Amino acid sequence: ATKISFMNEMANLAEMLGADIEMVRQGIGSDPRIGYQFLYAGVGYGGSCFPKDVQALIRTADSIDFDAKVLKAVESRNDEQKSVLFKKISNHFSGELSGKTFALWGLSFKPNTDDMREAPSRVLMEALWKAGAKVQAFDPEAMEETQRIYGNREDLGLCGTKEAALKGADALVIVTEWQAFKAPDFVLIKQLLKKPIIFDGRNLFEPKRLRNKNYSYISIGRSN
């Protein structure tokens, strides 16, 4: 959890300074004392373990009057990071999100599970709904769990394929790094979206490649 929050903080800093967090990650991870595991910038961690365990350690520290500064910073950065995608979307559209539709790829907090506990997708969807936007979502595993949590809503469409989620949307937003999302048909994406705009919360693609395909590509910790 600490490595994830640290990298997210470095990503935000890199973006403001015009650096590339992916280059930073390669440099840091090449040190064998650190390694590459959990060294990826993104939209924050979720699930049942990391949030609960960090919070439990903080409560334990508080119970003996110890100020766990690092643990509190880990949790605080993670909470803020879950709103980064929404802020990027809002900035891109100048805050005018009402009536717009966004295709979401990924709802579970990580790939290969249907678990949506503390998932960044929930923070994003709820912020989009509050702003008056609609969501067309696809996840390989978490569709039933999303239905269970949110029920039937006019501003939420659960789609049978990742391509169906794109149809008529104002932009694609990638929230979970499922393998099925890593090599999409960019020609088809451009055909199905109203405009070729991708917000990538997991840095799945190479910015230069997307620019060469005339996409507006906004990712995490890289020059946009």
Structure tokens at 193: 């979206």
- As beta bridge partners, residue 158 has 137
Kind of pairing between the strands at 171-174 and 197-200:
parallel
Structure tokens at 67: 């100020």
Q: Please tell me the distance from the alpha carbon of residue 14 to that of residue 214, in angstroms, as a whole number.
A: 24
- The Cα-based distances of 177 to 33, 46, 104, 125 in angstroms read 26, 13, 12, 17
- State pLDDT tens for residues 207-217: 999 999 999 99
Kind of pairing between the strands at 156-158 and 197-200:
unpaired
Q: Going by C-beta distance under 8 Å and a sequence separation of 6 or more, which residues neighbour residue 164?
A: 136, 138
Tell me if residue 49 is catalytic.
Answer: yes
- The Cα-based distances of 156 to 122, 125, 136, 208 in angstroms read 12, 9, 6, 32
Residue 10 above 80 pLDDT? yes
176, 121 in Cβ contact below 8 A? yes
- When pLDDT is averaged across residues 144-161 and rounded to a whole number, the result is 97
Residue from 28, 35, 1 nearest 14 by CA: 28
Strand ranges (DSSP E) for the chain? 101-105, 134-138, 156-158, 171-174, 197-200, 216-218
Q: For residue 10, give the amino acid letter.
A: M
- The Cα-based distances of 191 to 160, 171, 187 in angstroms read 18, 12, 6
- State pLDDT tens for residues 91-133: 999 999 999 999 999 999 999 999 999 999 999 999 999 999 9
Confidence class of residue 219 from pLDDT cuts 50, 70 and 90? very high
Query: 49, 56, 70, 188: which is the annotated catalytic residue?
Result: 49
Q: Please tell me the distance from the alpha carbon of residue 71 to that of residue 52, in angstroms, as a whole number.
A: 12
- When pLDDT is averaged across residues 12-39 and rounded to a whole number, the result is 95
Residue 223 above 80 pLDDT? no
